[in-house]
Amino acid sequence: MYENAYEIVVLAMRYVFVALILYILLRLVLHSITEFRAVQQIKEQVRGVSSGYLEVLAPQELRGETFVLRRENSIGRSKRCDIFIRHESLALLHAFIYEKKQGLFLTDYENRANVYLNGELVKKGEELLYTADELQLGDVKLKLHLNGEQAEEADGQ
Amino acid sequence: MANKKSARARWKRVSAAGLLTLIILFELTAFALLAFRESTPDVNAFILGGILVVLLLFQYLTLTSIFRHLDRYILIIANLLVAIGLIVQYRIDPEIAFRQVTWFAVGMVAMYVCILLMRRPNFFRKLTLVIMIACAGVMMALFVLGSEKYGATNWIIIGDNSLQPSELVKAGTVFILAHWLANAKRLRGIWPLLLYVVAVVGMLVLQRDLGAAVLIALTALIVFYVATGNKGLTVLGLGAGCAGAVAGYFMFDHVRVRVAIWKNPWATYTGSGYQIAQGLMAIASGGVFGMGLTRGSPKLIPAYHTDYIFAVICEEFGIIFGVAVIALYLALIVRGALVALNAPDRYTMLIAFGCTVLITLQSFIIIAGVIKLIPLTGITMPFVSYGGSSLLSSMILLGILEGVAIAGGETLEKSLREIEV
Amino acid sequence: MSMRRNIKTMLVIFAAMFVVLSVYLLYTVNAYGTRWFSNPYNTRLENQKNNIIAGDIKDRDGTTLAGTNTAGDRTYIDDSSMRKATAHAVGDNYGQTFGAENFFSKYLLGFDQSLLERFSRMVSEKPSYGSDVYLTINAELCDYIYAQMGDYKGAVVVMNYKTGEVYAKVSKPAFDPKYVAEYLSGKRALAGGAMVNRVTSGRYTPGSVFKIVTAVAALRYIPYVESRTFQCGGPLAFDRQTGKYLPAITIDEDEQTKAGISGEYRVLRDYNGDYHGEIDFVTAFNKSCNHVFAVLAMEIGADRLARVAKELGVGDEFLFADIVTASSSYEKPNSDVDLAWSGIGQYTDIMTPLHMCMIVAGIANEGVMMEPELLWDVRTTSGVSTYTRRSAIYKKALSVTEAAKLKAMMLSAVKNGTGRNAAIAGYDVGGKTGTAEVSSGAIKPNAWFVGFVDDHTHPIAICVVLEQGGSGGGNAAPVAGKALKKAIDLGVAK
């Protein structure tokens, strides 16, 4: 008698399990979509305003500071720069980071020969920047972080 | 300005509490059903169900409170898959279920470790060479130390437990691939990578672990394509792979056998085709809603708790449930790809994508093999199949994926805060 | 070069792969599920027999062909010739054949019982019974046909061409389901091949019945073929090496042509050396003239003839819900001589009796081939019917005009042609005979007859194959005629 009753319960539960798993799947997909949309919105906003930020790696006293990048950023010791870093090794106006169609570019302002990209001296002209690139201006080491789709365009040719 | 403030307030991670409740309900109901199999209730079933629920809640609560940007859904899907596997394993033999849950706990710890390690991904980057040598070394050592199990000679058997180190090599390979391919400009310099991949795949083929060999080869190829976009070389690699497969067909007996039983398993029913035929009969017996938990005959199928667990699921839970499991894997893959797309830099992007590809390929290959879409290869279903090393490596991949998700989320949050200056 | 774009591409590919996986799973279980489940190797079926009393297998009139007695043993109808006549349709209880015992075990062993039934059964504490299965066959008809086949081995299948119901599925020699255990243990002798269902698994050389296919191709691709006259004056000659047709060569009927070789040529001749002189298309069909059909086959060409065969279902892996049957095959010939022989049903042409019957049924049914059905009803022990029979169309193979023309040709073949032995008083019967050579003279040819009754109230089609039966018109046609008459008398189609 017990086996028969158990059997009937098991057979009835088949439908319950299928319904449950399908509902779980549905909820999962719906939640996922909502969250995806929220993240996309955030990214839109961030992207709309800035393409990324610079993070200071050295010297020790400035380490961890971040500077948001806009379309054009002058970098230097002067307070009138878009990104102003307080360090004697920097010139008043040291370097320039600006956005073009192909991506973000770095240039040594007035060829002071004191701007390094990933260890190499930046000579005449402009250098295309990639995310995680390391810049050195004077004694200040900076790491570049690019955002969202900008990362893609910067990586592209 | 008001816009941005509300945007920040809006970026609250959607709580998955409702989903968790449903999953807990599912797990407990199934274990309750198993507990009342005999007229005297089986306490162990309740204990196992309880342990599972506790582990799930522990993971969810601790991880979401420490890391706001954890991908909850990947965590939930993985836990659900493990639960489904455990339910079926307990139904077949309570002892293997308890062993699996122990490995699950170990895997959980490994996952936590991986999440923490992924906070400093560059640490791994510096160690790439070490990882390469370690993985290749382990593979070579298996020629000497390895024992045979299920046709492959790369198992390590200690007492009652057996491990397959090649599972861990899979995870290591993801890091290696990501390092060499992250800065795609240096295409000329990636010959060490090529050497490594060919060596590892070759060793796996020699050790008769064709499933793992195919997995690593295809993963390398796909990650290569994604990183470099070089269609020409990818097609060349694919061609080389196909040529290798055809060569393998003519050279190796067991490859020929696999293809023959794929085409018609009934012809060699008493011999090599037995497993596939049994699997098909089990799936057909399940019908739309399944025969019902405990009413099927899973032990008729060889490898019922490992490779063929999908057939057992279809037999007892039905085809619709089977399709739902496939959909769960797809959801996992989509979210994994999204994590990769949100990664803060190229290195972690490739790592996340590599993990996703591994899970995709592994689940596809085994399910397709069981339903006779492609020839059967001996690999396990990620998270669901019984197997210590399999579950461990799946949890490690999970941890790595979550680590990248957290990093990506934190970077995005940081930028969000920055622009509100 | 954009990594993110590549990731998105791969994601789409992965999603497509998984969708294919799901769809394939659903499709494959839907199409093949019953056969995998009913496979005699499936021990679940055996196990279920311990839990439940298997239902009865009855014919369409309710005659119980197989049942279970109080001791739990499987019992069969008392009449031994009827047992054998219906053996292949009913199947056996030891998993040796793929008859109803296996194929419909889903119903017989109660796998399809609803929850409500189980619940009420549990409450009432009655023993569990599976459902009873009613087959579409008429046992009396099967018995009669089995006797009419005499000592010949072979197959006879009788179908309703409007609905696809199979009224008789007789394969001889047959086993006796009552004694299968004794056959297996060796206590009883079994005729060779008795376990093989020749109706569905018998792959025979069709011989002249294949001219139906060639005739369809001729009507489709050769304009004005019906108004042409042909000269059937003697054997056709082909170059020995290349197989090319040599229309200019005339060959005399002599000893050598009997063996198909006349000096340096390969030869195609008519049966018994009967040549018909000036003849038209319809008469050539009636008299089953090899010369004309060989010439037509060559005019139609291998590609088009193969295409027509395919459109009639040759080469199709049939996936019928009720019946598992082998495929017919037509290999596309490469030379004239092979093409000529293939057009008259030799070369490597293979047809199953069931398929030939389906084609003829299609002709009688205005070009619509119906799917053969074996399951008439399923009823629970309380008599409640749980199955709705739906006639399914297999293919719309011919246009209404083509079907009408072929029907007329087949009617005239019975009235004036080689099929006259199949005629019945009071009804119009259409058909085609076939005498299929299976070797160069050592073994007698197989006798074929395929045909139908042209009547709304008795829409019956038939196919008879007698192995080594000699002349189709001489030996197969009379069996068919008698079978059709019996089917009409029994009123099977009502």
Q: Where exactly are the structural domains of chain B?
A: 2-420
Express each pLDDT in C116-152 by its tens digit.
Answer: 777 777 777 777 788 899 999 999 999 999 999 999 9
**Does C345 have pLDDT greater than 80?**
yes
Residue C67 lies in a domain: no
- What is the average pLDDT across A3-32? 91
Residue at C47 is within a domain? no
The answer to whether the Cβ–Cβ distance between C43 and B367 falls below 8 Å is no
* Predicted pLDDT of residue B11: 60
User: From the centroid of its chain, how far is CA A77?
Assistant: 25
Contact C118 A157 (CB under 8 A): no
Whether the per-residue pLDDT at A29 is higher than 90: the answer is yes
Nearest to C100 by CA among C13, C34, C190, C25: C34
B269 to C25: CB separation less than 8 angstroms, yes or no = no
Residue B1 is predicted with a pLDDT of 41
Would you place residue C332 in the very low, low, confident or very high pLDDT band (cuts 50, 70, 90)?
very high
Radius of gyration in angstroms for the set of CA atoms belonging to chain B, rounded to a whole number = 22
Residue of C nearest to B298 (CA): C44
Q: What is the dihedral of CA B392, B396, B398, B401, to 10 degrees?
A: -170
C1 and B229 within 8 Å at the Cβ level: the answer is yes
pLDDT at C259: 59
Q: What is the pLDDT of residue C261?
A: 65
User: Diameter of chain A by CA atoms?
Assistant: 95
Please report residues of B whose CB lies closer than 8 A to that of A7: 292, 295
pLDDT-flagged residues of chain B (< 50)? 1-7, 9-10
Local structure of C227: helix, strand or coil: helix
Q: Are strands C368-370 and C277-280 parallel, antiparallel or unpaired?
A: unpaired
* Contact state of C122 with A5 under an 8 Å Cβ cutoff: yes
Can you say how many angstroms the Cα of residue B414 is from the centroid of all Cα atoms in its chain?
32
Tokens of C55: 């239902």
Q: Where are the beta strands (DSSP E) in C315-374?
A: 368-370
Q: What pLDDT score does B141 carry?
A: 83
Nearest by CB: B227 against C3, C24, C43: C3
Is C320 contained in some domain?
A: yes
pLDDT of residue C17: 96
Number of A–B residue contacts, CB under 8 Å: 136
Distance from CA of C115 to the nearest CA of A (A): 7
Alpha carbon distance, N-terminus to C-terminus of chain A: 75
Suggest the residue from B268, B360, B362, B365 to mutate for an interface test with chain C (most C CBs closer than 10 A): B360
Structure confidence by residue, pLDDT tens digits, B281-316: 999 998 899 888 988 888 888 888 888 999 999 999
For residue C262, the domain's CATH number is 3.40.710.10
Q: Is residue C294 in a domain?
A: yes
> Which residues span the domain enclosing C234?
205-348
Domain membership flag for residue C443: no
ipTM for the complex shown:
0.93
% of chain C beyond a pLDDT of 90:
57
Of C154-158, C341-345, C384-388, least confident by mean pLDDT is C384-388
Residues 121-150 of A with CB under 8 A from C: 149
Residue C312 lies in a domain: yes
Q: Assess contact for B419 and A68: CB atoms under 8 A.
A: yes
Please report which confidence band the pLDDT of residue A1 belongs to, taking 50, 70 and 90 as the band edges.
confident
Element (H, E) at C135: strand C132-135
Q: Mind listing the pLDDT tens digit for each residue in C160-172?
A: 999 999 999 999 9
Domain end: C294, C320, C348, which one?
A: C348
Beta bridge partners of residue A143, listed in sequence order: A55, A134
pLDDT (0 to 100) of residue A149: 46
Q: Which residues pair with B136 in a beta bridge?
A: none
Residue C173 lies in a domain: no
pLDDT score recorded for residue B54:
95
A110 touches chain C (CB under 8 A): no
Separation of alpha carbons B233 and B242, rounded Å: 14
Residue B248 near residue B239 (C-beta atoms within 8 A): no
| Facing residue for A10 by CB, picked from B7, B13, B295 | B295
B294 touching chain A per CB within 8 A: yes
Nearest chain A residue to B25 by CA: give it: A20
Which residue type is seen at C71? A
Hey, what are C303's tokens?
Answer: 């590609």
Which of B3, B39, B318 lies closest to A2 in CB terms? B39
Measured CA to CA, the distance from residue C469 to residue A65 in angstroms comes to 100
d(CA B169, CA B172): 5
Render pLDDT for B349-384 as a digit per residue (tens, 0 to 9). Answer: 999 999 999 999 999 999 999 999 999 888 899 999
Mean pLDDT for the stretch of residues C266-276: 81
State how many domains chain C has.
2
Any CB–CB contact under 8 A between A157 and chain C? yes
What is the spatial distance between Cα C190 and Cα C222, in angstroms, rounded to a whole number? Answer: 50
Give the per-residue pLDDT at C257.
63
Mapping DSSP onto H, E and C, the string for chain B reads CHHHHHHHHHCCCCCCHHHHHHHHHHHHHHHHHHHCCCCCCCHHHHHHHHHHHHHHHHHHHHHHHHCCCCCHHHHHHHHHHHHHHHHHHHHHCHHHHHHHHHHHHHHHHHHHHHHHHCCCHHHHHHCHHHHHHHHHHHHHHHHHHCEEECCEEEEEEECCEEECCHHHHHHHHHHHHHHHHHCCCCHHHHHHHHHHHHHHHHHHHHCCCHHHHHHHHHHHHHHHHHHHCCHHHHHHHHHHHHHHHHHHHHHCHHHHHHHHHHHCCCCCCCCCCHHHHHHHHHHHHHCCCCCCCCCCCHHHCCCCCCCCHHHHHHHHHCHHHHHHHHHHHHHHHHHHHHHHHCCCCHHHHHHHHHHHHHHHHHHHHHHHHHCCCCCCCCCCCCCCCCCHHHHHHHHHHHHHHHHHHHHHHHHHHHHHHHCCC
Beta strands in C227-339 (DSSP E): 229-232, 236-239, 261-262, 265-268, 277-280
Measured distance CA(A73)–CA(A92) in Å, rounded: 14
Best of C1, C2, C11 to disrupt the A interface (most A CBs within 10 Å) is C2
- Among the ranges given (A90-104, B294-308, C30-44, C442-456), the one the predictor scored with the smallest mean pLDDT: A90-104
**Inter-residue contact B287 to C33 (CB < 8 Å):** yes
Nearest CA in chain B to A23: B22
pLDDT at B250: 87
Contacts of B202 (CB under 8 A, 6+ apart): none
**Strands C132-135 vs C57-58: parallel, antiparallel or unpaired:** parallel
Backbone angles phi, psi at C34, to 5 degrees: -60, -40
Chain C within 8 Å of A10 (Cβ-Cβ)?
A: no
Per-residue pLDDT at B132 = 85
Instruction: Check pLDDT > 60 for residue A152.
Output: no
Predicted pLDDT at A153: 43
What is the chain B residue with the closest CA to C26? Answer: B319
Last residue of a domain, one of C348, C375, C409: C348
In this complex, do B367 and C21 lie within 8 Å of one another by their Cβ atoms? yes
- How far is it, in rounded angstroms, from Cα C316 to Cα A69? 67
User: Are C458 and C154 spatial neighbours (Cβ–Cβ below 8 Å)?
Assistant: no
From B32's Cα to the closest Cα of chain C, the distance in A is 21
| Range C78-85 average pLDDT | 91
Of C409, C406, C407, nearest to C418 (Cα)?
Answer: C409
When pLDDT is averaged across residues C76-100 and rounded to a whole number, the result is: 90
For residue C254, the model assigns a pLDDT of 67
User: With a CB-CB cutoff of 8 Å, which residues 12-41 of chain B face chain A?
Assistant: 13-14, 16, 18-19, 22-23, 25-26, 29-30, 33, 36-37, 39
Contact state of B371 with C24 under an 8 Å Cβ cutoff? yes
Residue position matching structure tokens 């085409």: B263
The arithmetic mean of pLDDT across residues C30-48, rounded, is 87
Q: State whether residue C261 is helix, strand or coil.
A: strand
pTM comes to 0.83
Which residues fall within 8 angstroms of residue C390, CB to CB, at 6 or more apart?
none
